[in-house]
Amino acid sequence: MMFIYSFCLVVMTPFLAAFAVQQFIIVPRLRKELFELNARRAGRVQQALAVAVQSAWLEPSIAPNYPFLGWLDLKTDGTIQIAGQTFSATQQFQITARDDHHIPRATAISRGTGDVLINSHGQAFIARFHQGQWQVQSTTGLSQ
């Protein structure tokens, strides 16, 4: 009978030791690191929100955020820069800006009338340079 108890003790000792190490050393250390990581992330989010709120109060006029802005640039002189090329709104052109994986991100089409049709991320816009500034209107509400 004593042999069975000692055999069970020898067999169970590695499992009990692994369980004790996990419960009393690994889990508390992991929990502490996760709480510290979450606290750092929460601090960064709060700081970013505070900066955004401050800048929103300091800059009352915020420029509109269109989906094509990273791929197509409407310059203040009435030109359009897309895919490394610059065009005037009175020129005829059709060009597409693509990302590193050759996925089309923005397409600009001009018939030379001054209106530029911009398609980007499933949305369509008409851009018109009038009186020294670009006027961009979504074509969602317009009849075709």
Q: How many domains does the chain divide into? A: 2
Considering the domain architecture, whether residues 81 and 38 belong to the same structural domain is answered as no
Confidence at residue 93, expressed as pLDDT on a 0 to 100 scale: 94
Considering the domain architecture, whether residues 57 and 97 belong to the same structural domain is answered as no
Instruction: List all residues 6 or more positions away from 133 whose beta carbon is below 8 Å from its beta carbon.
Output: 76
Q: 143 pLDDT exceeds 80?
A: no
Residue with tokens 């996990």: 22
Considering the domain architecture, whether residues 12 and 50 belong to the same structural domain is answered as yes
Structure tokens of 130? 């009038």
Considering the domain architecture, whether residues 81 and 54 belong to the same structural domain is answered as no
Considering the domain architecture, whether residues 38 and 80 belong to the same structural domain is answered as no
Q: Provide the domain limits for residue 41.
A: 1-62
Considering the domain architecture, whether residues 80 and 108 belong to the same structural domain is answered as yes
In a domain, 143, yes or no: no
Whole-angstrom CA distances from 138 to 14, 84, 119, 130 are: 69, 24, 10, 16
Q: For the chain, what is the mean pLDDT?
A: 84
The per-residue pLDDT for range 47-99, each reduced to its tens digit, is: 777 665 555 455 555 556 788 888 899 998 989 999 889 999 889 999 999 98
Whole-angstrom CA distances from 127 to 20, 68, 122, 139 are: 68, 12, 16, 10
pTM of this structure = 0.53
